Structure 1
Amino acid sequence: MSRLACLDDNLERPVNPHQQPGCELEKPAPQSTTPCKRILVVEDDADISHLLEINLKDIAFQVDVVNNGVDGLNRASNHDYQLIVLDLMLPGMDGLELCRRLRSQAINIPVLMLTARSSELDRVLGLELGADDYLTKPFSIMELLARVKAILRRVELTARQQATHPDEYIEFQSMVIDVARRQVSIDNQPVDLTAREFDLLLHFARHPGRVYSRGQLLDYVWGYSHSGYEHTVNSHINRLRKKLENNPLQAKYIETVWGVGYRFREH
């Protein structure tokens, strides 16, 4: 789809000089149009934000750009976005605090976080506060576009699955997964999961007993399969276990299959 695909075709059609009086040209069948997805870029580096804006518009996204966290929170709270590309280091309010406030307001717009700091702590904090994915600067623009598309594909797939199974519940021992409401409880106590943690748990629970490698989980749950990012799966599994298990070292739900990957227990 070109960037012109977002424009309305409201121009007057040219008159046919050979048209007979009283005869109307056959009107072409109306073309269905898909509304362009809208992305918010929150980035204080003007060069990076300009690069993101150009490339996202070039693949037919509508893009709004702000350069600080306060404006980013205001935009996200008052507009309908399908994705936020969020820098970690921002003036006024950093990306972690912005992400935390969005989630505390039950604003579940997917977030792709950008960070110039490569420490594991920053990545874990971002994911724990509700970011769906992250990229470390400097990054390839092609990889960023692939991540954006993967996140949006996952969101659309989740919406289709919920529409197909609106009242789906999955029960395992004392755990109940309410798929439509994206809620999890254990012993009737709610478990607070990020969007990606929920997707990971749901994928396991829908396929109990099946062993998945880290690469397969990247493909099925994240929507991409880049070697070198398997540690993303590891960190999500570790955090998920801490939230679900009384003793994460003795897994009751998600087991490690050494040398292969992970599986959800069948019994």
Structure 2
Amino acid sequence: MIKEYSANVLLVEDEENMHEALKLNLEMEGYSVTSAYDGMAALKASQAEYFDVIIMDIMLPEMDGISVTESIRLQNAEVPILMLSARNHTSDKVLGLRKGADDYITKPFDLEELLLRVAKLIEKNKKLQDRDFSVGDEFEFGDNKVNFASQEAITWEGQKIDLSKKEAMLLKLLFENKNEVVTREKILQVVWGYSVYPSTRTIDNFILSFRKYFEKDTRNPIFFHSVRGMGYKFTA
């Protein structure tokens, strides 16, 4: 019996029979699977959607798996990548890991072992995502106060602000990761879920709104920052 989707998987494999067999078994494990059959499609999918893990074949049309992995890492994506390869030389494995893969398995492989490695990567990633401290119903910074229970804020000027659900979710995520850059991928996962994804401009507009609400000098913010090429940061 197929369970509710417990994770989102990008499967990148150009050999059709293997792709379909892996997809079927992953779905039977309860995962939602997105398919890509070449390197460029894989790169586009990774940029458009959040994944809990990527299964990446090395030998691909258009763009090889090593290059795709390297490009994903240059975007500061934290998604775990399990690399598949017919090459079993140590040097190939070292290259794959050096370019950003989290794990490496050679073909032919035992299906049960692959599924176990996928589950371990997903579990490890979720633990990393949950490692930050939790913010309660209220959070104060500077002369501002945010109440998450009522989705309201009192600004440093004493003005009452009604927050949208997504504004409250993004504020809470930034507060829970104070003084650390929160990647766009993590924001997509936590605030927008797995279905519809905003552009970077949309997230930037949220940050601009937070500056308007909470900063005394919006041109020289001390709390809310956009970190070019990386993500967003709340400084306590």
TM-score under structure 1 length normalisation? 0.49
Is residue 13 of structure 2 the alignment partner of residue 40 of structure 1?
no
Is residue 62 of structure 2 the alignment partner of residue 92 of structure 1?
yes
Is residue 38 of structure 2 the alignment partner of residue 74 of structure 1?
no
Structure 1 residues 163, 113: closer, same or farther in 2, change over 3 A?
Answer: farther
Amino acid at match of 1:85: I
Contact 1:77 1:107 in 2 (8 A): no
Which has more radius of gyration? 1
Q: Which runs of 5+ in 2 are unaligned?
A: 135-178, 182-236
Tell me the residue number matched to 2:133. Answer: 163
Cα offset for 1:155? 1.2
User: Whose relative contact order is higher, 1 or 2, with alpha carbons under 8 Å and at least 6 apart?
Assistant: 2
Q: Which runs of 5+ in 1 are unaligned?
A: 7-34, 165-179, 183-267
Q: Deviations over 1:122-178 (max 9, x none)?
A: 1111111111101000001100000001111111222233337xxxxxxxxxxxxxx
Q: Deviations over 1:31-83 (max 9, x none)?
A: xxxx5311010001111111110000001100011110000000011011111
- The partner residue of 1:57 within 12, 19, 27 is 27
Amino acid at match of 1:87: D
Could you list the runs of 4 or more consecutive aligned residues of structure 1 that deviate by over 3 angstroms after TM superposition? none
Cα offset for 1:181? 4.6
Separation in 2 of the partners of 1:115 and 1:181? 35
Q: Deviations over 1:71-121 (max 9, x none)?
A: 000001101111100001111100000000001111221100000001111
TM-score under structure 2 length normalisation? 0.55
Alignment map for 1:106-145 (pairs within 5 Å): 106-145=76-115
Amino acid at match of 2:68: L
Alignment map for 1:183-262 (pairs within 5 Å): none
Contact 1:41 1:64 in 2 (8 A): yes
Separation in 1 of the partners of 2:92 and 2:133? 35
Separation in 2 of the partners of 1:85 and 1:162? 27
Contact 1:116 1:137 in 2 (8 A): yes
- Over the aligned positions, Cα root-mean-square deviation in angstroms equals 2.2
Q: Deviations over 1:209-228 (max 9, x none)?
A: xxxxxxxxxxxxxxxxxxxx
Separation in 2 of the partners of 1:48 and 1:132? 21
**Aligned to 1:89, what secondary structure does the other structure show?**
coil
Separation in 2 of the partners of 1:156 and 1:104? 21
Tell me the residue number matched to 2:117. Answer: 147
